Each structure stands twice: as structure tokens, then as C-alpha cells.
Amino acid sequence: MGKFNFAKTEIDGVYIIEPICFEDERGFFMETYNGQDFKNNGLDVEFVQDNHSKSRKGVLRGLHLQYNKPQGKLVRVISGRVFDVAVDLRKSSKTYGDYVSVILSGENRKQLYVPPNFAHGFLVLSKEAEFVYKCTDFYDGEDEGGIIYNDKDIAIDWPLDEVGEENLVLSSKDLNWKSLKETETKF
């Protein structure tokens, strides 16, 4: 039996990954990443950086990308609950501008693999959430970019009813990203 269930999504390269969790009276144990298992399931990636953030309900981070050093990300939530999104920015892809979304939580333990050349973002649905992720390239603030979260062409169905649109919290940077049509990517 494998240590993970890998589910391909409707967008090539994006996977929802469920670690197999072993529980008993002491608690639980699970692997969150195993290079050989990932490679055997079509994800031959090398991670170089781990990140950890904590946000409160209503915080929307994204949609983030890096132009010249695109990052693949393996994302998960260790406490709380978020609505997570990956947007395909590969101009040659038949799913260009489409997105995949999934609820990630400390309870369901699901992970999302977001390949390089995608924009990524999430909305916190619980009182607070701790979000951890592995990256295939280093963060470079000089290379950072984004797409506005409410781009009409992408039309992400954010669950705003769970937080109240008036309670959204975005950084000034995230509020000022342009639309996908106005964003010059080279992917």
C-alpha cells in the first residue's frame, strides 16, 4: 500500500494528494512528502525552500507568481481551513486561464501540488489557519508578480459567503495586481 493517494485534476500537472494517515490511541503519523513515491506518480520535483504562514479568517493571499523563476508548490494546511486555488498560466495549454480549487484543512490533510507557471492563492475560511508549503525554486521579491483575485475572465468562485465579502483582508500589493489579460507572462 502506498503512502499517498494521488488524484490528477482536470488541469494537467495539478494534483490533489492525500497522505495515508496512521492513527492509534497515541495520535497519528503520516508522511507529507516522499521523493520516490512522488516520482513514481509522475511528480519528479526537487524542493529547495519550505514556507509557513499563519492568517486569520477572511485573509486572501494571491494570486501570486514569479515571472522568470516560477515556483512549483506543494501546499497544505496544518491547522484551520482554506480555499486554495491554482490558475494555469501556460499560454500553450488548452486550460490556459482555468483554475483548480480545493478545500485544504488540518482535518482532511489534503495537499495540492501547483506546478511552475501557475498563479496560486488561498482564502482563509476558519478563525485562523496555518499554511505550509514546499517550493521548487527560491522566492525572489524582484521577480514577484500576481493577478487580481477577482479577475472576471478567470472567474474564481471564491466562497465569500463563508467569510463575508466585507471581511476580506488583502495586502495592498494583492489589491493592486492587474487582470490576467494585462499581465505579461512568458510561460
Positions marked active-site: 64, 133
How many DSSP H helices and E strands does the chain contain? 2, 13
59/69 Cα distance (integer angstroms): 26
C-alpha to C-alpha distance for 100 and 52, rounded to whole angstroms: 22
Among 158, 145, 51, 149, residue whose Cα is nearest residue 101: 158
C-alpha to C-alpha distances, 52 to 86, 97, 136, 153, nearest whole angstrom: 18, 27, 15, 30
Residue 130 DSSP SS3: strand
